[in-house]
Structure 1
Amino acid sequence: MKKMKFKYILYTLAVFLSTSACQDFLDPESLSTFDSEYIFSNADDARKAVNAMYVHYSHDGFRSRLSNNMTGNTDIEHAGGSSDGARYQIWRLDAQENNGDLAYVWNIGYQAIRDANIAIEGISASEALNSNDVALSNEMYHLLGEAYTMRAYWYSMLIFYFGDVPFSTQAPAVDVEFNLPKEDRNVILSTVIQDLIDIEEKMKWADDTRYGIEQINREYTLGMIARLALQRGGYYLTPELSMARESDYLDYYKIARDYSNKLMTLKDRDLPEDFRQIFMNQCKFISPVNEDILFEVPFAIGRGDVAWNIGIRVDGGNHEYGSGSNYMAMPPTYLYSFDAEDKRLPVTCGLYTINSDFIQELVSSGSMNISQGKWSRHFLDTPPGRTTAKGTGINWPMLRYSDVILMFAEAENEINGPTAEAQAALKRVRQRAFDEAVWNTKVDQYVSTASANKESFFDAIVDERAWEFGGEMIRKYELIRWNLYSEKINETVEGCKQMADEALAGTGTLPDYLYTKLDETGNLVILNLHEKLIAPPDDSWERESWLISMSSETTTDGYAEWMTRDWDNYVNPGNIGVPEGVIRYIFPIPTIGIDNSKGLLKNDGYNFGY
């Protein structure tokens, strides 16, 4: 009931605010005509004001863009196509100022920041914040922490996509100037990190809040301190098109280590043994506290695009589950990077689709459209209806505890090398991925070998994060801060080409063809996912083209078109005027931001307009 109640609150708020959801950049109009002093004089009305921040998650700019569609391409998630539409421009790294998807993100980012600023200013000025009523004071401080954390998240995203951006920390008022110049990204990140450090101890754990992991809680804020600190301590693209990091970066790795460790010390929990159940819970509308997910976006029924544009594809037709596609495929290089015994593999990489007759089929080998298997509308307990598509109500994970554990391992290694503490953290995550019977080799020996030095341990962290978080669409941000974006994309393209060459030549050990059939329960069974077979054991198996489909007789280079087209501007950055080895992940500020800035903002640097 707790989960559904917050979903309902967000739905009604979304309807109420929908008529003003496209206000101009940093529009100084308040969300409410009620007197601010009254609104923030009591916890119930203050809660409603804070809830307004969450409504922006239901905007297309987040639910179908920022959360997943805009985060390809990487070495583990692949998007592409030949259209000139907004999202294709973003995937090809050549989006223009008039790109509608960029405008969506810019708008909702600053609207959410505006609402957070209103809440921060109203709560901070309220007598209720330091009331003699301890319960009231505690609630108000927690609400204040939610607002600070929400603001920090949106500034983090705006920085990843636009670099230096305007930085406002004031609520709308007639005497406040909101047409601001760009602020240095590092100044913004340092400021919002300190905000969270100052407030986190006054926040509530998820199991003490009304809505658990469906609202921002202390666990999430502690995790966000670590995530933001690694962003601040990591690499970033300068307007001169070089990757740089600040000389004080180790100070921020120390913050990341200390605050991830703080959460692990104060509110540790066992990682759920069943990796699949983490995401099945989301598809079943179950939101347990004190488990892996620390915070998830609470989409109301009828809202949210999980299992519509991301997840196992379901074709509409002769069933009541509606239709849902998958815009982000997983390259076969990622699939075959997994250990065959890794229990995360079948959960993460969806190898089947549901056809219009509700029958499982092997994913299309023509585009190798391996899907994010963690979600699907056909996992829903109640079919949403034959004509449904969007609005499944499945929540979106924002941060998991395993992420915090791996951030600790990474930060500790960067500061002190692969210490016993760093190794123990990596082992915790890997233990869930394998049966206990093979921990000696797959966990202990693996981690021991990886711990030979700082560099090899870092490489292991890079790999582990890929296997743990595939399909959760955070890889792009990690590759940026590690300065590995170009290297990993090139590895992926070359790896795909090698697979295609070996399949065409009949060499190598991976399967050129797969042999499949349906078992007695209607589930797709693959006989030889990890090995080449000349023939199946009997005629009950059907042969399907697999890695052999990555070659083509119709293209000039002999490879399937998606292999070179979709990553072209990544591996050949000169196409858009970028130096070799650099990926221009920064996009131009959208037209609406430029026009509303009264001349303060312009798209300079990054070779925009090439």
Structure 2
Amino acid sequence: MRRILMSAGILAGLSLASCDLTTESQSTFDETSVFSDPTLTEYQIYSIYEVFGHTNSHRGRYLPWYGYNTDIEWYISNTDDEKADIVKYNMLSTNSQLNVADGPYNELFAGIERANLTISGVRQYGSPDSRPEMAERLGEALVLRAVLYTELLKAYGEVPARFAPVDAETIYMNKVDRDVIFKQLLTDLEESFGYLSYDSATSTDRVGLALAKGLYARLSLMASGYAQRPDSGTAGTGNAGTVRLSDDPDLQKSVLYPKALEALKDVISAGGLELEPDYEELWRGVNNMDLTAGHEIIWVIPFSNSRGRWNYTFAVRNNGYTDYSPTTSNRGGQAGPVPYVYYWYDENDIRRDVSCVNFEWEDRGDGTLPYPAGIANWYFGKYRFEWMTDNPYSGGNDDGVKPVYMRYADILLMAAEIANSSEGGVRDESFALECLREILDRAYAGDASSVDAELSGVSGEEAIFEEIKKQRALEFVGEFLRKTDLIRWNCLKESMDAAAAELRAMRADATGAITGRNYSGLGEYLWYRHGTRDGIPSIEMYGIHLGENDATDVTPPEGSGWTPYTNTSGEISRYISDTAFISSDTGVDKASEDGTGFYKADPNLKQWWPIPQTTIINAQGALLNDYGY
């Protein structure tokens, strides 16, 4: 009989391609005693959650690098190095950030092994058919395994299919067509529906029925959408593949969409969830690590309050030691919104000033204050050290902020997309618009006239789909759902090329094709002044909004206390000019017509990360990278 380790680090060192799977411990439990006991089984489930916080798993490698560049999110640095290669679709399997034995690929499989042990053990010893408490444990493990596999599929494309505990015959496995994995995950999630309830998740760091059904829909959209796929039957042979739809009859929209929409409608009608009325309060809660279930947030990556590098990586930038980031090192601002995104929002959309900010924090001798960041450097205002009031950031390598994995807004927008599609059975335009309107009602703070204006002329499948694409951008910027969306819509490169063209329109004082804005209305010079909001220093900037173009380099706006924006030499400087988005240090033009500001290689042919070389080597010939790596 197998013995299993019951500790938080049960499989922390597991590398499925190379490790010795026989691990000795002073504390071992018989499978029968563990998986017949709901408390001990729950401890084993905790070990699955624990994988996300491992040093080079989601904490330090996956989350800091997955999901950008896209048309709405980009890497801010202009340095040309291996980090830039990751986000610019030019990564090699030897990339030093991800080619580590304990990197995301191996850590995700470590979590899958922990889930497999739990699922196998509960099925064999837990009597889930007659014991609801054990059925609930089984459901939780099935959902967690689906989450871990979803993360692998998003990043690596084709991977091995491991749905049973590793044994001597399965240590080394080749990839399979991702359709095999999609079908198993969808089957698992359907099974979990019968084990979980909407009350199962007592906090947002535990999975429950709403996540199971939401993930079912998310996977249905991925599986039935476009992706770079090896030719049929060639996964794991080095085949470069093409961007295409699945040819599996079970993964067509006509099959998956009705089930996915049914799942989403159940969450909407019975899940007890709602949109947080105040968009800013939603994100203040995230920064304060509020784990209260039953509101908008369905599930977060379950870091402890002293683990994770989310704000460390993505918060509004703090330059050096500040009141909110007590360290001499810069924190936050690794990536941010592509600058035009701010102008894609309507002026009355309350999401705009929460999601996209153009300031950074610094102490220049007058205390910690916000200063203009430069037109190329916009930050995700959803993530702010100054909002971490309950658990202030200590200045160390971890901050404890728990990234949002799924929230109710995504349920609504997925439902809108599926209901709007004529490929998914009976198209329901009225329901799609109803879901869109709920999103927009919050965005416009209940201003019905603004909602009506946004939806004016939005009818018919194509127009509604374009509105859904837009609202997914404006609602989720900085949450890194966009890359997966663009891939399944088959517009990854096309969308980044359009974003680069929009930036060229900005610096040319022209009209942008995405936003429809005439950028000649932006001020040539920017002025700013400081104030206070909720006891925190604030900044007001003039010249950054359309129509604020009457100030000059010597004539400030009306009122007192204005300071002109200056360059790094202290000279009054134009805020946006014909050289905007061109690095003065490297000469890189992030708005380049050839798209190289966003990518170095064709992103449609490099949609996935390569499996790390160290894993390939240790796989004893069982693994081979596809997609031209």
1:342 corresponds to which residue? 349
- The alignment status of 1:56 with 2:65, answered yes or no, reads no
**Is the Cα–Cα contact under 8 Å of residues 302 and 402 in structure 2 kept in the other structure?**
yes
**Is the Cα–Cα contact under 8 Å of residues 511 and 533 in structure 1 kept in the other structure?**
yes
2:592 corresponds to which residue? 564
- The alignment status of 1:523 with 2:532, answered yes or no, reads no
Deviations 1:343-377 (A, max 9, x none): 001111122222136533234216x2211111222
- The alignment status of 1:212 with 2:203, answered yes or no, reads yes
**Is the Cα–Cα contact under 8 Å of residues 362 and 371 in structure 2 kept in the other structure?**
no
After superposing the two structures, state which structure 1 stretch, 536-545 or 54-63, moved more.
Answer: 536-545
Secondary structure of 1:222's counterpart equals: helix
Q: Deviation at 1:33? A: 3.4
Match of 1:45 among 26, 29, 40: 40
- The alignment status of 1:376 with 2:389, answered yes or no, reads no
- The alignment status of 1:257 with 2:261, answered yes or no, reads yes
After superposing the two structures, state which structure 1 stretch, 588-597 or 17-26, moved more.
Answer: 17-26
Q: Deviation at 1:80? A: 4.9
Secondary structure of 1:87's counterpart equals: helix
**Is the Cα–Cα contact under 8 Å of residues 156 and 228 in structure 1 kept in the other structure?**
yes
Match of 2:87 among 70, 78, 91: 91
Deviations 1:155-187 (A, max 9, x none): 22222222221101111334x423112111112
- Within 5 Å, give how 1:464-475 maps onto structure 2: 464-475=471-482
Match of 1:543 among 564, 587, 593: 564
Deviations 1:301-328 (A, max 9, x none): 3211121111112234253642522111
Deviations 1:63-101 (A, max 9, x none): 243224221101111115454654322112121112244
Secondary structure of 1:548's counterpart equals: coil
Q: Deviation at 1:389? A: 3.1
Deviations 1:216-268 (A, max 9, x none): 11111111001011000110013445321125233222232221112112214
Distance 2:20 2:187 in 1: 26
Match of 1:181 among 166, 169, 174: 174
- The alignment status of 1:113 with 2:134, answered yes or no, reads no
**Is the Cα–Cα contact under 8 Å of residues 57 and 107 in structure 2 kept in the other structure?**
yes
CA distance 1:507–1:24, shift in 2 (3 Å): closer
Secondary structure of 1:192's counterpart equals: helix
- Within 5 Å, give how 1:472-551 maps onto structure 2: 472-502=479-509, 508-521=520-533, 522-531=537-546, 532-535=548-551, 536-544=557-565, 548-549=576-577, 551=579
Distance 2:67 2:604 in 1: 17
Deviations 1:490-524 (A, max 9, x none): 010011011112289x9722333332111255211
Q: Deviation at 1:471? A: 0.6
- Within 5 Å, give how 1:356-371 maps onto structure 2: 356=363, 358-365=367-374, 368-371=376-379
- Within 5 Å, give how 1:343-422 maps onto structure 2: 343-356=350-363, 358-365=367-374, 368-382=376-390, 384=392, 388-415=395-422, 416-417=426-427, 419-422=429-432
**Is the Cα–Cα contact under 8 Å of residues 168 and 178 in structure 1 kept in the other structure?**
no
Letter in 2 for 1:165: V
2:286 corresponds to which residue? 282
Distance 1:601 1:18 in 2: 21
CA distance 1:164–1:385, shift in 2 (3 Å): closer
| Same amino acid, percent of matched pairs | 24
After superposing the two structures, state which structure 1 stretch, 146-155 or 83-92, moved more.
Answer: 83-92
Secondary structure of 1:479's counterpart equals: helix
Secondary structure of 1:170's counterpart equals: coil
After superposing the two structures, state which structure 1 stretch, 121-130 or 60-69, moved more.
Answer: 60-69
**Is the Cα–Cα contact under 8 Å of residues 590 and 596 in structure 2 kept in the other structure?**
no
**Is the Cα–Cα contact under 8 Å of residues 39 and 45 in structure 1 kept in the other structure?**
yes
How many residues align? The count is 574
Q: Deviation at 1:528? A: 4.2
Distance 1:181 1:123 in 2: 27
After superposing the two structures, state which structure 1 stretch, 344-353 or 45-54, moved more.
Answer: 344-353
Letter in 2 for 1:327: Q
Q: Deviation at 1:130? A: 3.7
1:584 corresponds to which residue? 606
**Is the Cα–Cα contact under 8 Å of residues 39 and 46 in structure 1 kept in the other structure?**
yes
Match of 1:198 among 185, 191, 203: 191
CA distance 1:82–1:434, shift in 2 (3 Å): closer
CA distance 1:527–1:303, shift in 2 (3 Å): same
Instruction: Could you tell me which runs of 5 or more consecutive residues in structure 1 were left unpaired when the two chains were aligned.
Output: 1-11, 132-136
1:9 corresponds to which residue? none
Q: Deviation at 1:287? A: 1.7
Q: Deviation at 1:482? A: 0.8
- Within 5 Å, give how 1:444-455 maps onto structure 2: 444-451=452-459, 453-455=460-462
Per the normalisation by structure 1, the TM-score is 0.87
Deviations 1:280-337 (A, max 9, x none): 1122232221111001123213211121111112234253642522111211111111
Match of 1:333 among 329, 340, 355: 340
Letter in 2 for 1:341: N
Q: Deviation at 1:17? A: 5.6
Secondary structure of 1:102's counterpart equals: coil
Per the normalisation by structure 2, the TM-score is 0.84
Distance 2:137 2:81 in 1: 39
Secondary structure of 1:473's counterpart equals: coil
Q: Deviation at 1:525? A: 1.4
Instruction: Could you tell me which runs of 5 or more consecutive residues in structure 2 were left unpaired when the two chains were aligned.
Output: 1-5, 231-239, 512-517, 552-556, 566-572
Distance 1:553 1:419 in 2: 41
CA distance 1:217–1:358, shift in 2 (3 Å): farther
- Within 5 Å, give how 1:124-273 maps onto structure 2: 124-131=123-130, 137-174=131-168, 176-205=169-198, 207-209=199-201, 211-239=202-230, 240-247=240-247, 248-273=252-277
Distance 1:297 1:80 in 2: 24
CA distance 1:424–1:471, shift in 2 (3 Å): same
Q: Deviation at 1:398? A: 0.7
Distance 2:114 2:195 in 1: 21
1:463 corresponds to which residue? 470
Distance 2:7 2:579 in 1: 51
Letter in 2 for 1:509: G
Distance 1:258 1:553 in 2: 45
CA distance 1:412–1:382, shift in 2 (3 Å): closer
Letter in 1 for 2:224: G
**Is the Cα–Cα contact under 8 Å of residues 406 and 461 in structure 1 kept in the other structure?**
yes
1:7 corresponds to which residue? none
Secondary structure of 2:139's counterpart equals: helix
Distance 1:315 1:333 in 2: 24
CA distance 1:520–1:288, shift in 2 (3 Å): closer
Distance 2:609 2:104 in 1: 11
Distance 1:383 1:154 in 2: 28
CA distance 1:495–1:241, shift in 2 (3 Å): farther
